[in-house]
Structure 1
C-alpha cells in the first residue's frame, strides 16, 4: 500500500477546535503513515519475543531479566497510551505523533547497540513510551481526517497492518536472529521509521488540537500510571508470593482512586461522564476488554499444547498458529467495510459470538485430539476476531465528540493491553492451582491439560458475558435513537443515550 493508492484529499478535516483550518491533508498519506506505524508496534513485541533467548545468552541475563524485556515494553505502552492521547488533544496530535516517531526510531537504533541487559530493559521502557505516543495520536489523526462513513474501512486497513506485524514478527525475528543476530531485529525497524518521519514532514502539515488551552491532569496521570505499574507487576508474578497479590490489590485500589479523582477534576485525563452517561462507549470498551481477556491466553496454551502434547517442533507449531492472525489480517478490512454499511456494534457482536464458539470448541481439546480440531479453533477465532476488532473500535470512537477522540483512541488500545493482562492473570492462577509451580513436561501433562481446559472454559464464560454486553449496547443504541427521535419531535434536547 502506498499513498498513491488513496489519492483523494480532504479539504475540511483537520481543523482544531480553536484555530483556522490547516492546508488540505492527503487521506492516503495519513493511512500509509498510520498503517506503517501500526505494523511496527506489535512487530516489536512478537519479533523481540522470539529473540529473547539469544539476548539472554549474549548479555548473560537471568530468566527474570529476560522476562522484563517484554514486560517493560508492554507496561510503558499501557501507562502512556491514555496520557499521550490527552496530551495530543491539548498540544497537537501531529506534534505528539512526530515526537513519538522520533523517540521510537532513535531508541530502537540505540537498542541494537546495547551492551548490557539493564540497558535493554531501560531502553525498552522508552521505546514503549514512544510507541504509546504514536498509537494514541495516529489513530486520532486518522479519525479526524476520514469522514464518519469511511472510518470503518480505514480502521480495518490499520487493524490488518497490526495483525501483519503480529503474524510476521516471529518469522522475521527468528530468521534475523538465526542468521544475523538479535541486534538486527531492532535494526530492521529503522528504514520504516525514517520513511514514516519523512512522510510526516512532507505530507502531513496540518495540526489537530481539540482541547487546546485546557490544563493537563498531572495528578490523575500519576495515579493512573501507578495503577498500571502495580497491575502489571502483580499480574506477571502472581506465582511468586504474597507481594505480587498485594501489588495487584494496590493496582485495583489505585484504579478506583483514579476514577474517583477524575470525577472531581474540571479537566480530567479521562472524562468519567463518558463511562457514566455514554452507555455505547462504556459497553463497547467493556466488550473490547472482555474479548481481549478471553482470547489472548488461548494462543499461549495452544503453543504449549502443540509442542508438549502433540510433539510439534517450535517451527511447525508457529506455522500452524499463524493461521489465526493471517485470517484476522484478511478479514479486518472487510469487518471495517461492514461497519461502514451496517451498525458497527451489530457486526462486532457477530464477531464476539464466533469467538465464544471457538473458545467452547477449544475447551474440548485433549491429549488425543486431532490437529484438525486445533485448526478449526484457530479459524473460528480468526474470523470472530477479524469481525470484532475493527467494528468495535469504530463503535468506540464513533460514540464520542471530536474533542475526546484522543482519549477514545487511547482507550481502544488500553482495553487491549488490560485485556491481555487479565488473560495472563487467569493463566497464572490456573497454573498455580493445577501444577503447583512445576514446569510443563511429560510427567506433568495431566496437570497441564487440566489447567488448559479450566482456563479455556473460563475464557468461554467471559466471552459469553461479552456477547451479552455487546447485545446490550445494540439495544441501548436502538432505544437512544428512538428517544432522540421523540425528543426532536417534541422540541426537547437529548443526550447521546437519548435522555431528554
Structure 2
C-alpha cells in the first residue's frame, strides 16, 4: 500500500497542477517545481536508501520512509505559498524514495523464489490501480474541496499503511558493511544533476543551464565510482550491471518506461489540442491504459514463474510498440472506440512486460543484494520516465503542433528497443 500511496500522489499532483498554480497565483513555468521538487528528491535518495536497506533491513527503511511521507503530506496540505509547497513536496519525495528503494526487496522476502513472479504481479496490480484512480480522485476532490485536501487524504491512508505494515512486513538480518555518507552525497549529486541537465536540454535552455549540471554529474559520478571501488555492496551497483541478465533487464526497464513517459505526457496534449477532446473525455480515455495494465500484470506475474521473462517481456513490449505506432497513425476524426482499443493494446503490452521484468531483475541479483537491486529497479524506472518527459518537451520544441504525434512515434521506437533487449535475455547467462 505504501508504494501505491506514492503512485497515487504523483497522479493526483499532475492532474491538479493547474488548480494549484491558479490558487497560489504562480506562473505555469514556476508551478512545475511542485512536480520537479518531488522527482529530484526521489531520484537523489533512491540508491542511498537502497544501500541503507542492505545494511539495516528493508523493513526499517520502508516504514521510516512511509512515516516521513505521511508527515510531509500534512506539510503539503498546510502550505500557503509555492516555495512552501515545493519544499514540502521535496520532503515527500525523500519519503517516497525510501519506500520505492526497498519495495521489491520486501516482495522478495515475502514470497518464495518459486512464486516471486506472482508477488511482483500483485505489486504491479496495486501500482496500476492507484495510478488509474489518481486522476479521478483528484477531479472528485477538487469538485467539493480545495487542493490542500488532495495531500491531506494521504495522512489517514499513511497511518493505515503504517499500522498494517508494522504487523505484517518481515524482518531481515543486518549486514556487516557500513554506509558511507560521502558516497551517499555523491550519488545524490550525480543523479539529481543528471535530471536537471536532461530537463534543461529538453527545454532548449541556454547552454550554461545544460552544461553546468552536466559537469556536476560527470565529476560527481566519476568520484562516486572511485569512492566505491572494491566495496562488497556498492551504492551504485555496477557489479550487478556486469551480469548480462541484470544489465539487459535494466535496459529493458529504462526503454519501456521512457516509452510510457513519452505517451503519458504527450497524450493529453494530443487528445485536447489535436483531436479537440475536452479534459473530462481525456481523463476517461487515459484511464483505459492503467486499468488494462492492472488487469494484465497478475497474469503476467504468474506466467513468469513458468516461462522465460525475456520471452514474455519481448512479446509485451512488441505489443506496446504496435499500440503506440497505431496511436500516432490515428485518423483525423477517430471515434472513442478507435482510441480506446489502441490504449488497451498499449496497456496490455506494458502490463505483460512489467512483472516478468521485475522478476528477472530480482532473480538475477544475489539475495543479500536485494535492496541494492530494488533501488536500481526504481532508478531505472524514474530515469526512463524522466527521459520520456524530456523527449516530449524536445518533440514539441522541434515539431510544434505535431509534437505529440512525434512523441508517440518516438515512444514506439523506445518500446521496440526494449523488446529487443528483452528478447536478448533468452541467450544471456
Task: With the length of structure 2 as denominator, give the TM-score of the two structures.
Answer: 0.94
Regions of 4+ moved over 6 Å: none
RMSD (Å) for aligned C-alpha atoms: 2.0
User: Which of 145, 153, 163 pairs up with 1:180?
Assistant: 145
> Which residue number corresponds to residue 285 of structure 2?
320
User: Which one has more relative contact order, counting CA pairs under 8 Å at least 6 apart?
Assistant: 2
> Which residue number corresponds to residue 345 of structure 1?
310
> Which residue number corresponds to residue 383 of structure 1?
348
> Which residue number corresponds to residue 275 of structure 1?
241
Q: Gapped runs of 5+ residues in structure 1?
A: 1-35, 436-447, 477-496
Q: CA deviation at 1:345?
A: 2.4
User: Which of 64, 76, 99 pairs up with 1:99?
Assistant: 64
Pair 1:146-2:111 in alignment: yes
User: Which of 400, 415, 420 pairs up with 1:463?
Assistant: 415
> Which residue number corresponds to residue 171 of structure 2?
207
> Which residue number corresponds to residue 8 of structure 1?
none
C-alpha distance after superposition, 1:212-231 (max 9, x if no partner):
22022333322221122222
Distance in 1 between residues matched to 2:54 and 2:223, nearest whole Å: 20
Bigger Rg, structure 1 or 2? 1
Q: Secondary structure at the match of 1:359?
A: helix
> Which residue number corresponds to residue 216 of structure 1?
179
Does structure 2 conserve the Cα–Cα contact (< 8 Å) formed by 1:111 and 1:123? yes
Pair 1:65-2:17 in alignment: no
User: Which of 284, 289, 295 pairs up with 2:254?
Assistant: 289
Q: 1:358 to 1:203 in 2, by over 3 A?
A: closer
Q: CA deviation at 1:110?
A: 2.1
C-alpha distance after superposition, 1:154-208 (max 9, x if no partner):
111111111111111111011112211111111211222111211233344x422
Q: Secondary structure at the match of 1:208?
A: coil
Does structure 1 conserve the Cα–Cα contact (< 8 Å) formed by 2:313 and 2:419? no
Distance in 2 between residues matched to 1:251 and 1:421, nearest whole Å: 18
Q: CA deviation at 1:47?
A: 0.7
> Which residue number corresponds to residue 241 of structure 1?
206
Does structure 2 conserve the Cα–Cα contact (< 8 Å) formed by 1:224 and 1:254? no
Does structure 1 conserve the Cα–Cα contact (< 8 Å) formed by 2:257 and 2:388? yes
Does structure 1 conserve the Cα–Cα contact (< 8 Å) formed by 2:50 and 2:102? yes
Distance in 1 between residues matched to 2:332 and 2:241, nearest whole Å: 44
> Which residue number corresponds to residue 305 of structure 1?
270
User: Which of 156, 177, 191 pairs up with 2:121?
Assistant: 156
Task: With the length of structure 1 as denominator, give the TM-score of the two structures.
Answer: 0.81
Distance in 2 between residues matched to 1:258 and 1:285, nearest whole Å: 23
Q: CA deviation at 1:247?
A: 4.3
C-alpha distance after superposition, 1:48-104 (max 9, x if no partner):
222222222332323233100011111111111121111011022221111111111
Does structure 1 conserve the Cα–Cα contact (< 8 Å) formed by 2:262 and 2:410? no
Does structure 1 conserve the Cα–Cα contact (< 8 Å) formed by 2:270 and 2:405? no
> Which residue number corresponds to residue 39 of structure 2?
74
Distance in 1 between residues matched to 2:184 and 2:48, nearest whole Å: 7
Please list, as runs of the form range in 1=range in 2, the aligned pairs for 1:17-166 lying within 5 A after superposition: 36-166=1-131
Does structure 2 conserve the Cα–Cα contact (< 8 Å) formed by 1:80 and 1:129? yes
